[in-house]
């Protein structure tokens, strides 16, 4: 565990996942939005995790968190079982069915921030109920930059609470279909305009294999995804993207359009590694050198030459 001051606080779910793809299957592996977001952000900065696990949470999972360098002061251990999720990916991993969701200890979770986390300048509210996200915002003293993720479930069943949280953050990230659902607009620039009116300075729409888009008063940034030859497990790709993004941004210690764009490149590259293996497996061995090498190749793939005037 890192001894440095916590630069980024991440709250989210910690889960034990059972995942089936057309090619393979893994039972009871470590997952959840906080696990992916912390494992990736910790590659760039000092991260403190806020989450809850049950008595069944294996010592090896905690050891893995520590190996990533995640500060675990904010990890609560409760009687009962850890949140569990299982799902099946279809065909080419484009769609998935959820087979079961057991909230377990997550149902009663109240995220309490350790004193050392309350002065953290960067906060990432990964996907978890908006009431819990709100509770974290209420405890942070003077954050410089707060970002949040969400999912269709909260848009459907806790819309008002969700919109209230959105009104208090600097950046909202969500996927394409969630942006459409929350805004009621199909075309993304219009959807983003509607979401920006809810309060955040930035709206970052994740499009999976099609990349991501950043919207703000300063304009639009469109980022393709790093092209992949195969995907082993897409679970947590969005959380890995957001975690890599927030970790890189927090490490830059200042937020502006160029730093956000640069952090998005890092997030995209980290997510492209995350899906190469099940769960956190690929992230375990991922190095900053590997990230930088792929980011360099990715930048060359996106290089748009100066406008060449046709003769």
Residue 217 touches a copy of itself, criterion: CB under 8 A: no
Smallest separation (angstroms) from a copy of itself to the CB of 82: 32
CA distance 298 to 23: 28
Residue 115 touches a copy of itself, criterion: CB under 8 A: no
Smallest separation (angstroms) from a copy of itself to the CB of 311: 5
Smallest separation (angstroms) from a copy of itself to the CB of 155: 18
Smallest separation (angstroms) from a copy of itself to the CB of 254: 9
Q: Which residue matches tokens 């069944």?
A: 56
> Interface with a copy of itself by CB under 8 A: which range of 27-35, 105-113, 138-146, 204-212?
204-212
Smallest separation (angstroms) from a copy of itself to the CB of 217: 14
CA distance 202 to 184: 18
Q: Rounded to the nearest 5 degrees, what angle is found at the Cα of 158, between the Cα atoms of 95 and 148?
A: 70
List 222's β-bridge partners, or say none.
213
Residue 248 touches a copy of itself, criterion: CB under 8 A: yes
CA distance 270 to 307: 31
> Interface with a copy of itself by CB under 8 A: which range of 31-39, 95-103, 121-129, 217-225?
217-225
Task: Name the nearest CA neighbour of 263 among 147, 181, 91.
Answer: 147
Among residues 4, 141, 222, 284, the one that binds a copy of itself under rule CB under 8 A: 222
Q: Can you tell me whether residue 284 is helix, strand or coil?
A: helix
**8-67: contacts with a copy of itself (CB under 8 A):** 44-45
Residue 207 touches a copy of itself, criterion: CB under 8 A: yes
Among residues 25, 159, 284, 299, the one that binds a copy of itself under rule CB under 8 A: 299
Residue 275: both structure tokens together? 């899906």
Residue 228 touches a copy of itself, criterion: CB under 8 A: yes
CA distance 286 to 306: 34
The per-residue DSSP string of 78-99 comes to -SSPPEEEEEEE-TTSS-EEEE
Smallest separation (angstroms) from a copy of itself to the CB of 63: 26
Pairing relation of β-strands 212-216 and 202-206? antiparallel
CA distance 192 to 159: 17
Among residues 138, 230, 285, 287, the one that binds a copy of itself under rule CB under 8 A: 230
- Residues of this chain that interact with a copy of itself (CB under 8 A) are 44-45, 92, 186-190, 207, 210-211, 213, 219-225, 227-231, 248, 251-253, 258-259, 261-262, 265, 292, 295-296, 299-308, 310-311
């Amino acid at each position: 565990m890192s001894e440095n001051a916590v630069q980024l606080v991440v709250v989210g779910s910690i889960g034990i996942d059972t995942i089936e793809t057309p090619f393979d299957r893994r039972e009871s592996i470590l997952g959840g939005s906080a696990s992916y977001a912390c494992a990736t952000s910790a590659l760039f900065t000092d991260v403190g995790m806020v989450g809850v696990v049950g008595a069944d949470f294996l010592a090896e999972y905690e050891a893995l968190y520590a190996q990533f360098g995640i500060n675990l002061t904010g990890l609560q251990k409760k009687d009962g079982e850890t949140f569990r999720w299982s799902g099946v990916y279809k065909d080419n991993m484009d769609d998935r069915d959820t087979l079961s969701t057991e909230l377990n200890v997550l149902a009663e979770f109240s995220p309490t921030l350790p004193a050392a986390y309350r002065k953290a300048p960067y906060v990432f509210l990964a996907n978890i109920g908006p009431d819990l996200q709100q509770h974290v915002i209420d405890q942070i003293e003077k954050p410089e930059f707060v970002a949040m993720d969400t999912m269709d479930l909260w848009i459907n069943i806790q819309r008002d609470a969700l919109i209230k949280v959105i009104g208090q953050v600097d950046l909202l990230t969500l996927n394409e279909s969630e942006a459409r659902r929350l805004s009621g607009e199909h075309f993304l620039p219009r959807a983003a305009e509607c979401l920006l009116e809810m309060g955040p300075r930035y709206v970052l729409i994740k499009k999976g294999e099609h990349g991501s888009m950043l919207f703000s008063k300063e304009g639009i940034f469109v980022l393709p995804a790093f092209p992949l030859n195969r995907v082993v497990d897409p679970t947590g790709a969005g959380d890995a993207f957001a975690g890599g993004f927030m970790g890189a941004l927090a490490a830059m210690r200042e937020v502006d359009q160029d730093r956000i764009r640069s952090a998005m490149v890092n997030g995209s590259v980290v997510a492209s590694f995350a899906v190469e293996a099940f769960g956190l497996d690929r992230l375990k061995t991922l190095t900053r050198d590997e990230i930088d090498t792929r980011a360099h190749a990715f930048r060359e793939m996106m290089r748009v030459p100066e406008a060449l005037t046709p003769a």
